[in-house]
Amino acid sequence: MAKDEIVLGIHAINALIKRSPERFIEMWLLKGRDDERLLPIINLARKYKIPVQFVHRKVLDDKADGEQHQGVIARVTPGKTYTENDIEDILSQADSRDELPFLLILDGVTDPHNLGACLRNADAAGVQAIIVPKDKAARITATVRKVAVGAAETVPLVQVTNLARTMKQLQQMGVWIIGTAGETDSCLYDVKLDGPMALVMGAEGKGMRRLTREHCDQLVKLPMAGSVSSLNVSVATGICLFEIVRQRLKQ
């Protein structure tokens, strides 16, 4: 049985309590803090009859295990785990909203802060799901939720057993797969990106694995003018996603 999860931070808890209040088991709030940022959470906890304890900072610090908690921590039941079997349903739901497929594939991104930032980017850009390999990749954790400021509740994180096979299945469904790689001559801004699309971003430092690269329909790179050879993966992801958004808005 999956273990209960810890959620911390004002935005993450606010987003989750609005979306899935039934998942909350208990909540801890910093004693003496009832300012305007925490009041909405306190009111929602009362509304949904979530047990709340007002505790000293040390109690919260211990539960947060070194992470910034902003004076509020909750224990919740595990959320839904998405697998390759859910992808078709996710795209069908997008189609019912007249949305073209728009997916983000992260190949081995292991840093939880980067995953959280990528979730936030994906939510802002309208991405329907993030696909990651089941092994050697970051998972949804308290840190990821906090960095994602609510996006971990709105963008499904799909864990797949075989990333290359999943990419092939997407291609058979008519999704064009764009990968980012420094060694290509094609610039992001010179490529047509307005159709059914999946963007692949490689791991921090190493980039995409060979098999992942080989399953891309096209490789693109960002033009780099400075002495730094690459950008943080979440920054590069945001730039690439919003170039796709820009091109789609022109249609």
Q: In CATH, what number is assigned to the domain containing residue 167?
A: 3.40.1280.10
Q: How far is residue 196's CA from residue 205's CA, in Å, rounded to a whole number?
A: 28
In the DSSP assignment, the letter for residue 84 is: G
- Averaged pLDDT, 177-197: 91
**The domain containing residue 71 runs over which residues?**
5-76
The residue among 209 and 225 whose pLDDT is bigger is 209
For residue 177, pLDDT over 90 is answered with yes
**pLDDT value at residue 205:** 75
The letter for the amino acid at 229 is S
Residues 219 and 100 in one domain: yes
End-to-end CA gap in the chain: 47
The CA angle 114-120-125, to the nearest 5 degrees, is 125
The letter for the amino acid at 227 is S
CATH number of the domain within which 31 lies: 3.30.1330.30
Other beta carbons within 10 Å of 106: 28
226 belongs to an annotated ligand binding site = no
Other beta carbons within 10 Å of 150: 22
- Averaged pLDDT, 146-163: 93
Residues 37 and 146 in one domain: no
The letter for the amino acid at 43 is N
- What does pLDDT average to over the chain? 91
- In angstroms, how far is CA 84 from the centroid of its own chain? 16
Domain end point (choices 20, 42, 76) = 76
Long-range CB contacts (within 8 A, 24+) of 190-194: 191/218, 191/220, 192/247, 193/243, 193/244, 193/247, 193/248, 194/244, 194/247, 194/248, 194/250, 194/251
Q: Does the pTM exceed 0.75?
A: yes
- Listed in order, strand segments (DSSP E) in the chain are 5-8, 24-30, 52-55, 72-76, 82-83, 102-107, 129-133, 157-160, 176-180, 197-202, 218-220
231 belongs to an annotated ligand binding site = yes
Residues 22 and 134 in one domain: no
> Domain count of the chain?
2
Of all residues in the chain, the percent with pLDDT exceeding 90 is 73
Identify the band that residue 68 occupies on the pLDDT scale cut at 50, 70 and 90. Answer: confident
Query: Is the torsion defined by CA of 117, 246, 104, 216 positive or negative?
Result: negative
Cβ-contact 175, 131 below 8 angstroms = no
104 belongs to an annotated ligand binding site = no
**pLDDT value at residue 104:** 98
Lowest model confidence (mean pLDDT) among 41-55, 145-159, 208-222, 223-237: 223-237
